[in-house]
């Protein structure tokens, strides 16, 4: 079992739909990142969370430390949101190492 | 927000040659930088951790003589893939940790470099 699990692995949605991507982890963490990776490979950091909820435009990220779970929501999805979304957790302690989920491949159809 | 850049964004090289990838923190001093590798449809895997002015710490299974890491300044780390082979073709990503306690030692990811060895 991976220490960081994402679901679903693949997701196809129609433009305008509300999308939720989940991340569960089994290790102690000090922070969690949501990253977006476009087909060309470039990575964009969307959010860094250590508690609660953050919102940026149409994106919302939440984390529940007790349940070891985070969600990334996309409201009013658009084809340009098509990408791989990766959850990365920073391990607790002084190493600042990250463990990455395998990603959720999202395709939004026009 | 803080920015980390990588150069080049993509590179094609011939088998047997060496390739250098740069990772720069543009508006903060990075006491620690990390290098990751991503094979197609797989997770990013940590290759090594580099601290400014000291030798890099490599993860198990990563050849330190093949993947040379230099962190010569607080804003620049380089990864050199020596004697590259087609199996080294991958996506290489760096991240940089802000050395400022007031900014909670936040870590930022670079956009990545795609290496293709022919």
Distance CA B111, CA A40 (A): 10
- ∠ CA B2-B6-B10, rounded to 5°: 145
pLDDT digits (tens, 9 = 90+) for A45-54: 899 999 999 9
Helix (H) or strand (E) holding B22, with range, is strand B19-25
Inform me whether the pLDDT recorded for A58 exceeds 90. yes
Closest partner residue to B111 among A42, A48, A95, by Cβ? A42
Could you tell me the pLDDT band of residue B107, with boundaries at 50, 70 and 90?
Answer: confident
User: Is any Cβ of chain B less than 8 angstroms from the Cβ of A87?
Assistant: no
Looking at the partner chain, which of B44, B97, B107 has a beta carbon nearest the beta carbon of A100?
A: B44
- Asked if residues B82 and B68 have their Cβ atoms less than 8 Å apart, the reply is yes
Per-residue model confidence as pLDDT tens digits over B1-10: 568 999 999 9
Q: How far apart are CA A15 and CA A58, in angstroms?
A: 13
Residues 6 or more apart in contact with residue B34 via CB below 8 angstroms: A96, A97, A98, B46, B48, B49, B50, B94, B95, B96, B97, B107
Nearest to B107 among A40, A96, A103 (CB): A96
Contacts across the A-B interface (CB distance below 8 Å): 50
Q: What is the mean pLDDT of residues B8-37?
A: 94
Residues of B numbered 37-96 whose beta carbons fall under 8 angstroms of chain A's beta carbons: which are they? 41-46, 49, 91, 93, 95
> Would you say residue B103 has pLDDT above 80?
no
| Better-predicted residue by pLDDT, A96 or A34 | A34
B76-92 per-position pLDDT tens digit: 999 999 999 999 999 99
């Amino acid at each position: 079992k991976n220490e960081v699990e994402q679901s679903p692995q693949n997701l196809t949605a129609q433009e305008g739909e509300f999308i939720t991507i989940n991340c569960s982890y089994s290790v102690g963490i000090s922070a969690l990142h949501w990253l977006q990776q476009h087909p060309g490979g470039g990575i964009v950091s969307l959010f860094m969370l250590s508690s609660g909820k953050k919102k940026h435009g149409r994106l919302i990220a939440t984390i529940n430390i007790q349940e070891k779970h985070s969600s990334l929501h996309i409201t009013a999805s658009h084809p340009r949101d098509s990408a791989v979304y990766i959850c990365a957790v920073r391990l607790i302690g002084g190493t600042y190492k990250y463990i990455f989920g395998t990603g959720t491949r999202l395709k939004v159809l026009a | 927000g803080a920015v980390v850049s990588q150069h080049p964004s993509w590179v094609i090289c011939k088998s047997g040659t060496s390739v250098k990838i740069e990772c720069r923190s543009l508006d903060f001093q990075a006491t620690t930088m990390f290098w990751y590798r991503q094979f197609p449809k797989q997770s990013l895997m940590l290759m090594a951790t580099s601290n400014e002015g000291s030798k890099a710490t490599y993860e198990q299974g990563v050849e330190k003589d093949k993947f040379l890491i230099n962190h010569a300044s607080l804003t620049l780390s380089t990864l050199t893939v020596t004697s590259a082979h087609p199996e080294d073709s991958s996506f290489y990503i760096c991240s940089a940790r802000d050395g400022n306690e007031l900014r909670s030692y936040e870590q930022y990811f670079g956009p990545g470099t795609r290496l293709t060895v022919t």
